[in-house]
């Protein structure tokens, strides 16, 4: 048995774990990252969800998330504007290459893949490292970067699994009772302990007149469950939901699709239990792909060269290396993020910034996704947290406190992924890829600072962590979510620190909007009113047709101009059309005439 000693051990190469390892090493900590799969990035790559949601507004593209988006834009042939579910769709391979390059560029970071944790080394209330099959790692600090919180279970670290009733935190969307059949949520609570995962499959449009190799229908899958999957959308709109470059289609569809929620207790059962669930989840996705091919067109087949084959998973080629887990075990931390921490405070579009027990503003990661839960066959009613911005609907911003990454009773451990201390209800907004990248970056930075200061995570001053994130020389990360101040602006760090000192001023600090940079193609014409108030369209020619596109933007200065338009005004602008989304993403407006 090989024995390794490091400053920081990160177990799991998911979205948060990868970010944590990169950030810890960039800060100078001697770091080892151990992953199961040969692709790093989890949801963003190995799980095939290459259409990330949330933090799409330019001001929220900070830290490693912003660096990832910019790297994708530079590397992905054909750009990122392909689907209507996201502003950024790309080939999973491109994302995996970015993370692999970042790891290679860190001289103090070693990476081993093909190993899963078998035992957590613990002495009293302190974690000392992890044993794998062929080696053992002794670490000053250990970070759980697994999707399901594997170290929490192996290390007997207090954690949660499943729902909480309204009695726990008085969350407006929580069930009043978990055991009363009269509660409107009783049936879904009993059937789905956590949100349903999806085993993503990627399909290929081989072109008009082509006949793709047939996709067999699994005998174990009742194909009738897929009836009406795209009835409310139409086949073309359904297929463009997760459209990727090179005529590929990410199949991650919640409506009578390939979300799979049967027997979810098996996710944290024995290895045989997990294998049985995984086999059924893969069959679910194969069955759905079969129905797509047979009902929409034989031109749609499997994109068999999307993922590596024959390594670390039950499938390969067109099938993601791992499931897309939306929820797993959740830490019992020094603080717990609840639905109240996500909802806007009265009179503002944003949630209040979190404060710790000492009254300090303790935010270390940001998000804005609307709360969203996945339970097959059930639409979960949730308190609204949406706002109209940039010509479209988006989620209201929130921040996550440092204490949600720290176990309440255990030393030597931090969490980095969806395993943060969060309620089941709030997990619907904190589970998204950009948020988890931010959590991982914060955990990695905290770990490196603890090594420097020779302290435990609970002893690290949150202000030191916040300043380190804001001042990181490679990927500075925001700690307070703003829609109107772009990273790199002269006032950016000053305004962020203002919220540390005066959190009650959030989100009303006065800022000067930066002028946008022109990129994309130039268009001009007269705007017309859109389907909703204060929305606008511009008609463009596409494939011989005149198509009105909604004007949307991610830039705050353009957002301000759009709000001031009136129907019939002449515009000259730069932008990128997204024909699947039906919008023109405006990057700059050069001229507005009456």
pLDDT score recorded for residue 514: 78
User: To the nearest whole percent, how much of the chain has pLDDT over 90?
Assistant: 90
Total Cβ atoms within 10 A of residue 348 = 13
Start-end of CATH 2.40.50.140 domains in the chain: 521-593
Q: Can you tell me the distance from the alpha carbon of 400 to that of 413, in angstroms, rounded to the nearest whole number?
A: 18
| Range from 145-159, 226-240, 298-312, 364-378 carrying the lowest mean pLDDT | 298-312
What is the C-alpha separation between 133 and 177, in angstroms, rounded?
43
DSSP 337: B
Confidence tier at 510 by pLDDT (50, 70, 90): low
Whether the per-residue pLDDT at 98 is higher than 70: the answer is yes
First to last CA, the chain: 76
d(CA 106, CA 262): 41
Examine the pLDDT at 312 and tell me if it is beyond 50.
Answer: no
Q: How far is CA 410 from CA 6, 104, 245, in A?
A: 19, 32, 45
pLDDT of residue 314: 53
From the centroid of its chain, how far is CA 261? 20
Tell me which of 84-93, 127-136, 490-499 is least confident.
Answer: 490-499
* pLDDT for 519 beyond 90: no
pLDDT of residue 54: 94
Q: Report the sign of the C-alpha dihedral through residues 554, 558, 560, 565, in that order.
A: negative
Neighbouring CB atoms inside 10 A of 121's CB total: 18
Secondary structure of residue 8 in the 3-state scheme: strand
The helix/strand/coil state of 173 is: coil
Q: What is the pLDDT of residue 207?
A: 95
Q: Which residues of the chain does CATH 3.50.50.60 include?
A: 2-160+326-505
Query: What is the average per-residue pLDDT within 152-162?
Result: 98
| pLDDT reading at 591 higher than 80 | no
Provide the pLDDT for residue 593.
76
What angle is formed at CA 370 by the lines to CA 500 and CA 320, rounded to 5 degrees?
A: 110
- Enter the CATH code of domain 521-593: 2.40.50.140
Q: For residue range 374-433, what is the model confidence (pLDDT) as tens digits?
A: 999 888 999 989 999 999 999 999 999 999 999 999 999 999 999 999 999 999 999 999
Q: Which of 58-62, 243-247, 389-393, 532-536 has the lowest mean pLDDT?
A: 532-536
pLDDT recorded at residue 310:
63
Strand spans (E) along 114-242: 119-123, 126-131, 135-144, 159-160, 201-205
Region 519-532: mean pLDDT is 91
Task: Please give the mean pLDDT across all residues of the chain.
Answer: 95
* Position 146 pLDDT exceeds 60: yes
Q: Evaluate whether 29 touches 108 at the Cβ level (below 8 Å).
A: yes
Three state DSSP letters for 425-448: CCHHHHCCHHHHHHHHHHHHHHHH
Supply the pLDDT for residue 336: 98
Rounded to 5°, the CA angle 341-346-347 comes to 130
pLDDT exceeds cutoff 80 at 123? yes
Fold of 2-160+326-505: FAD/NAD(P)-binding domain (3.50.50)
User: What residues contact 60, with CB distance under 8 A and at least 6 apart?
Assistant: 54, 366, 367, 368, 397, 434, 478, 481, 482, 483
């Amino acid at each position: 048995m090989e024995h390794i000693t490091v400053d920081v051990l990160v177990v799991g190469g998911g979205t948060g774990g990868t970010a944590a390892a990169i950030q810890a090493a960039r800060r100078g900590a001697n770091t080892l990252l151990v992953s199961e799969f040969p692709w790093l990035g989890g949801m963003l790559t190995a799980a095939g969800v290459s259409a990330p949601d949330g933090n799409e507004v330019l001001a929220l593209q900070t830290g490693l998330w912003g660096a990832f988006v910019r790297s994708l834009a530079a590397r992905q042939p054909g750009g990122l504007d392909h689907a209507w579910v996201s502003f950024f769709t790309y080939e999973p391979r491109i994302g995996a290459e970015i993370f692999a390059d970042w790891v290679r560029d860190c001289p103090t970071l070693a990476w081993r893949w093909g190993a899963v944790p078998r035992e957590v080394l613990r002495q009293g209330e302190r974690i000392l490292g992890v044993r794998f099959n062929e080696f053992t790692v002794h670490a000053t600090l250990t970070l759980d970067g697994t999707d399901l919180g594997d170290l929490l279970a192996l290390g007997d670290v207090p954690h949660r699994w499943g729902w909480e009733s309204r009695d726990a935190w008085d969350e407006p969307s929580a069930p009043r009772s978990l055991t009363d059949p009269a509660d409107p949520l009783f049936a879904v609570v009993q059937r789905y302990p956590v949100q349903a995962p999806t085993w993503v499959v990627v399909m290929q449009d081989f072109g008009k007149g082509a006949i793709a190799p047939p996709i067999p229908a699994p005998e174990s899958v009742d194909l009738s469950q897929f009836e009406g999957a795209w009835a409310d959308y139409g086949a073309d709109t359904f297929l463009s939901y997760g459209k990727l470059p090179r005529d590929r289609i990410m199949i991650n569809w919640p409506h009578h699709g390939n979300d799979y929620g049967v027997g979810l207790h098996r996710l944290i059962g024995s290895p045989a239990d997990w294998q049985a669930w995984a086999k059924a989840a893969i069959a679910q996705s194969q069955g759905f792909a079969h129905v797509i091919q047979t009902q929409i067109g034989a031109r749609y087949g499997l994109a068999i060269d999307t993922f590596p084959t024959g390594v670390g998973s039950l499938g390969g080629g067109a099938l993601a290396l791992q499931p897309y887990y939306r929820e797993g075990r959740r830490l019992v931390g020094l603080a717990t993020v609840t639905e109240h921490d996500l909802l806007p405070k009265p009179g503002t579009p944003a949630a209040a910034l979190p404060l710790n027990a000492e009254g300090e503003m303790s935010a270390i990661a940001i998000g804005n996704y609307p709360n969203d839960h996945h339970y097959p066959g059930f639409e979960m009613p949730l308190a609204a947290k949406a706002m109209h911005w940039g010509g479209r609907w988006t989620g209201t911003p929130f921040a996550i406190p440092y204490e949600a990454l720290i176990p309440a009773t255990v030393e030597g451990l931090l969490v980095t992924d969806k395993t943060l201390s969060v309620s089941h209800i709030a997990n619907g907004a904190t589970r998204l890829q950009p948020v988890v990248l931010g959590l991982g970056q914060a955990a990695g930075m905290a770990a490196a600072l603890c090594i420097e200061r020779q302290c435990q995570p609970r002893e690290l001053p949150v202000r030191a962590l916040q300043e380190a994130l804001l001042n990181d020389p490679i990927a500075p990360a925001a700690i307070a979510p703003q829609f109107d101040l772009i990273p790199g602006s002269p006032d950016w760090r000053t305004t962020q620190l203002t919220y540390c000192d005066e959190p009650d001023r959030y989100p009303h600090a006065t800022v000067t909007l930066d002028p946008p940079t022109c990129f994309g193609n130039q268009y001009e014409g007269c705007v017309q009113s859109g389907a909703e108030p204060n929305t606008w369209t511009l008609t463009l020619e596409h494939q011989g047709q005149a198509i009105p596109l909604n004007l949307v933007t991610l830039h705050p200065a353009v957002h301000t101009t759009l709000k001031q338009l009136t129907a019939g005004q002449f515009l000259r602008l730069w932008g990128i059309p997204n024909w699947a989304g039906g919008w023109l993403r405006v990057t700059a407006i050069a001229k507005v005439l009456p």
